[in-house]
Amino acid sequence: MVNISQSKENSYGFKAVIPFLTILFLIIIMVLPYKIPLISDIMPFLTLIGVYYWSVFKPELLPIGVVFILGLLQDVLLGSPLGLMPLLLIVVQQFIYMQGRQFLERDFLFNWFVFVMIVSGFGFLSWGIASIYFKTLLDYWSILGQIFLTIAFYPIITGLLGITRKLVDR
Range of the domain at 34: 14-163
The tens place of each residue's pLDDT in the chain, 170 residues long, gives 444 444 444 566 788 899 999 999 999 999 988 777 766 678 899 999 999 999 998 999 999 999 999 999 999 999 999 999 999 999 999 999 998 766 666 888 999 999 999 999 999 999 999 999 999 999 999 999 999 999 999 999 999 999 999 888 87
Indicate the DSSP class of residue 42. Answer: -
The answer to whether residues 60 and 161 touch, using CB atoms and an 8 Å cutoff, is: no
The total of structural domains in the chain comes to: 1
Residue at 64 is within a domain:
yes
Residue at 9 is within a domain:
no
Residue 42's pLDDT is 85
Residue 102's pLDDT is 67
Distances (CA, A) of 23 to 72, 137, 164: 13, 30, 12
